[in-house]
Chains A and B, each alone.
Chain A
Amino acid sequence: MKLLNLDFNSDLKKQIKDNVCFETLQKLKLPNKSIEEFKRFDLNDIYETPYNLNYTSYSSIDPFEYLKMEGFYYIFISNSQFLPQHSCITEDVTFCQHQKNHNPSNNALYYLSETFLEQQNQINIIASLDKPLLIVNLFKSDNSFVPTSLNINMGNRCKADVVELFLSQNSGECFLNINRVINLKHKATLNYTKLEKFTSLDTTIFNFNSNLRKESNLNIVNLDYHAKKSLNLWDFYLKEENISLKIDGIVNIDKNRQGANIANIVHEAKNISSQFNIQHILHDESKGLFEVKSTINKNAQYAKVIQSSKTTLLSDDARINAQPRLQIYTDELEARHSATTGAIDQEQLYYLKSRGIPHKKAIEMIIESFESTILNKIDNDLIKEFVKSFKGKSDVQRVF
């Protein structure tokens, strides 16, 4: 099977050959077809599609001026290039490009971007932020493979609210392989929200990796709505005491879109808390995948581990494959996992309609109610309002 059917030009081929990229690619153990079909999440087309490596720079970011939000610090990144002239930050935030520094990962797709990128983008937060930081990622390419990478580094005891927005104006079928590494030092707290508006032809793979130090807190709210295929691969190796990791997410997709969360969370020290909670709302022929494995090793006493997948199927043809898994090698812990699947509650729908609210609007209200349970996990009111207003502007019209 081809790994990636990239349409390399001769210079690039030479460059890749010089960098031994092909060899590295050959060594990658990417998920194979039979595994993906079993999961009802077929990645095969990204191996077969003839992508190129051509990207267009934005001549102007005027259409995105509205994102220079009052009350926020902001950084704009276009096709992996920082746009310093469009950024507004405090001296406690720096951004730069750095030499590659490989984070160990079990995820082959993480190394895929690393293979193609010469440098890594880094944002450093060295003191607590008085305002939320908005990171706007703009993509513009045509039938391309787009590797990108960003490390967010936070200093000791820092606290920050960060919202990262992904906006795509790609044309044709594009495959965005996006690496995110979050490094939190001692007692740092990062509240991170990810929001996207990809095109209906984009395939996106987010490879999350982290290095969390003692007593740090990472709270993630992940919102997936638009991409044709969106896969989040979460790889967390929690090796220091008193770490708190919370991931709450929404997968609200329609048509034949696919949304997946695959997580591998290893607990290696005492008093670690990890929560992984995804709300799926699946319309039409969409497919969801929730595959979360939490391993609590012998040294990870007093861990608190929660996995939860809640799914509402809005069509007979929508599918969910939920596999919450716990591997426990210690006696002293609290752990629970759950996976529920159902349709819209008919009595709730009837109640709203009995007050004159039309069927379509009533369903929207119930779906919004599911979403609000996740959106309410966002602590920062400015970010919460930003997410709601952005969602309102960009929501796809769904047909019931």
Chain B
Amino acid sequence: MLDIKNLHVNINDKDILKSLNLNIKPGEIHALMGVNGAGKSTLVKAISAHYDCTVNSGSITYKTKDLLKLDTAQRALEGIFMSFQNPVEIPGVNNMYFLKTALNEKRKHNNQEELNAASFLKLIRKKMSQFNLDEKILKRNLNEGFSGGEKKRNELLQLLVLEPDLLLLDEIDSGLDIDAIKTVAAGINSLLDGKRSILMITHYDRMLELIKPDFVHILSEGKIVKTGDHNLALELEKTGFEGLGVKK
């Protein structure tokens, strides 16, 4: 699904990713761990064409397409969804209007009929009731005045509505209490159908207990320096990065 080869990315003329390689097949769950500043967030930003990131060399192939030739919106329409670590607030943009616009753009891209307001409301109510999400957030402006937990629940709601093929989860567990983590994890797991893939960044094993990864990668100084299965995360939990010989 996603094949990254020899990727070099810089931000503000500073090299962040240096010759990074990663291959994610359909249905696989990959976890990305590493010390602060290792380049984890830069990787997901580069995959979703963040304006800060400059790709100097290398390639990203997504479903046989050259991803680097697509802009942010086109990548999203092709099925890439990045869950933000700190979702941005947009006062004045109604959350329901935003969700309906995003969904209809995707449906239009997939040559499906756009949903009218009534059909959309029916769909979203069904999704929200499945995971006990409060309908009040639909009436509010996009992330405006949301608590940290509400913002992450709103990210989950977007995931459920847009049903992407590749989920990039940048610390989706941060700022959540244990019950909220369970809700978010249940929502994400409900999307896993053996074809969707996940690349998730987390600092904690707790999330990996709830969304079991097939691969755990450790990123250091812009490269993947270790790859293993869930046991690597457990070992990391015990010994820390230094115990694994990873430079801080």
Chain A contact residues, CB within 8 Å of chain B: 345-348, 350-359, 361-362, 365-366, 368-373
B87-115: which have CB < 8 Å to A?
87-88, 90-93, 98, 101-102, 105-106, 109
Given contact pairs A346-B51, A353-B76, A356-B102, enumerate 9 new A-B contacts (beta carbons under 8 Å): A348-B90, A353-B71, A355-B76, A355-B162, A356-B73, A356-B77, A356-B106, A361-B105, A365-B93
Number of A-B contacts (CB under 8 A): 71
Residue of A nearest to B99 (CB): A355
Contact B88 A348 (CB under 8 A): yes
Residues of A within 8 A of B101 (CB): 357, 361, 365
Residues of A within 8 A of B72 (CB): 350, 353-354
Interface residues on B, range: 20 to 34
Q: Which of A347, A356, A366 contacts B109 (CB 8 A)?
A: A356
A149 to B196, CA, bound (A): 66
- Given contact pairs A353-B73, A356-B77, A366 touches B90 in the complex (Cβ within 8 A): yes
Contact A351 B91 (CB under 8 A): no
Q: Which of B84, B105, B109, B141 contacts A351 (CB 8 A)?
A: B84
Chain B contact residues, CB within 8 Å of chain A: 48, 50-51, 71-73, 76-77, 81-82, 84, 87-88, 90-93, 98, 101-102, 105-106, 109, 141, 158, 162
Residue of A nearest to B141 (CB): A369
B117 to chain A, nearest CB (A): 15
Contact A369 B102 (CB under 8 A): no
Contact B90 A356 (CB under 8 A): no
A272 to B98, CA, bound (A): 40
B183 to chain A, nearest CB (A): 21
B30 to chain A, nearest CB (A): 20
Q: 10 tightest CB-CB pairs across the interface, nearest first?
A: A369-B92, A356-B76, A353-B72, A355-B102, A372-B92, A353-B73, A356-B77, A351-B88, A369-B93, A356-B105
Residues of A within 8 A of B84 (CB): 351, 354
A25 to B77, CA, bound (A): 62
Contact B88 A347 (CB under 8 A): yes
Residue of B nearest to A371 (CB): B92
Contact A369 B73 (CB under 8 A): no
Q: Which of A351, A361, A371 contacts B90 (CB 8 A)?
A: A351
Q: Report which residue of A346, A354, A365 has the largest number of chain B beta carbons within 10 angstroms of its beta carbon.
A: A354
Residues of A within 8 A of B162 (CB): 355-356
Interface CB pairs A-B, < 8 A, 20? A345-B88, A348-B90, A351-B84, A352-B90, A353-B73, A353-B76, A354-B48, A354-B72, A355-B98, A356-B73, A356-B102, A356-B105, A357-B101, A357-B102, A358-B73, A365-B93, A366-B90, A369-B141, A371-B92, A373-B91
A238 to B207, CA, bound (A): 63
Residues of A within 8 A of B71 (CB): 353, 359
Residues of A within 8 A of B88 (CB): 345, 347-348, 350-351
